[in-house]
Amino acid sequence: MSLYIPKDYRATLMPEMMEQAITILKEEFPQALADELDLRRVTAPLFVLSGTGINDDLNGTERAVSFAIKDMDGRRAEVVHSLAKWKRMKLGASKIPAGYGIYTDMNAIRADEELDNTHSLYVDQWDWERTIRVEDRNLDFLKDIASRIYGVLKQMEQLVYSMYRHIIPALPESLTFIQSEDLLKEYPTLSPRQRETEAARKYGAIFVIGIGDKLSNGEKHDGRAPDYDDWSTPTKGGYSGLNGDIILWNPVLESAFELSSMGIRVDKTALVKQLELEGCPERSELMFHKALLEDRIPLSIGGGIGQSRLCMFLLRCAHIGEVQASIWPEKMVEECAANNIYLK
């Protein structure tokens, strides 16, 4: 358990006002995102069948919560980690053309999560996915989409300020793009998380590009599964990767604050390459992977944006448990309460 206690912390809103603000943000943000990226809402599954390759492996070590289905001869299902691959299949099934896409409310359970101020067993995201063309598979396109999402974040920050004048906007005018390799070169003695914190402190809002491939020091900035984001395709300047994270400077926690992970998804070439790099080429026989290799799934870009994290950041909360109901270690609950942080 890890916990950061801000000095002299007080919640910005009373409990009933906090609930009202959360409701408004959860209504306004997805509509603004849908308008900006030409998305329509779809209903998403809470669980998928095991052994199909549809569920995401995240860093490859997290256990999925699973159960046997009585009416399907004990076949197992597992609670989703995220919906990156499911969304691509949905785009194909719905025959959504390039330039348009979908979004959904994704709810998940991550039993192996290390609980702290920003991580919970319960994950709630707006998951979105957009069909693209072959010529869109480049960094300029990725940056454009990330900037447009950031613009929606800025809109929501202004909305909060219009309702609660004491919550002062803090986001910079624009998003700063940084390659993960350049972060390593600038802060060679720091860990990836420490590098993000220093860059976020410096710029206010950053988009770290290229997450999943090994850097020049032989280590990854962070892990990514080999079968959704494209983290291996070479780009200009000797870099690699068509994915990244939106990371903000959090003035309450005084640290980097990841709000969204997103990327251009693997095509056939990147999928085969990344499966080989991660030592799991046998996955190409799974249902999702076979469909992709047989051109039955469209090219796409997509990502997830934390719902509770968005509310936590914009309402200047010190702990994600102030905006979502979950389970927390008793020691954490007690220590938070002793410092005016009340978890749901």
Q: Considering only CA atoms, which of 149, 121, 315, 166 is closest in space to residue 245?
A: 149
Catalytic residue among 82, 260, 261, 300: 261
Q: Which two tokens stand for residue 139?
A: 């960094």
Task: Considering the candidates 82, 120, 125, 255, report the single residue annotated as catalytic.
Answer: 125
Residue 229: strand pairing partners: 265
Map residue 199 onto helix, strand or coil.
helix
Catalytic residue among 56, 127, 196, 213: 56
Geometric angle at alpha carbon 114, from 109 and 115, rounded to 5°: 85
Tokens of 106: 């994704």
The amino acid occupying position 192 is: P
57, 245, 267, 322: which one is catalytic? Answer: 245
Q: Which amino acid is at 134?
A: V
Let me know if 56 is a catalytic residue: yes
Q: Which residues, at least 6 apart from 311, have a Cβ–Cβ distance to it below 8 Å?
A: 21, 22, 25, 26, 317, 323
100 three-class SS: coil
Q: Cα separation of 237 and 232, whole Å? A: 14
Burial 122-136 (b: 16+ CB within 10 A, else e): bbbbbbbbbbbeeeb
- Clarify whether 245 is annotated catalytic: yes
The CA distance from 273 to 287, in Å, is: 18
Both tokens of 247, joined, read 């990371």
Examine the residue annotation and report whether 324 is marked as an active-site residue of this protein: no
| Residues near 49 by beta carbon (within 8 Å), at least 6 away in sequence | 75, 76, 77, 78
Out of 78, 258, 267, 322, the active site residue is 258
Catalytic residue, chosen from 88, 110, 224, 265, is 110
Which residues does the annotation mark as catalytic?
Answer: 56, 110, 125, 245, 258, 261
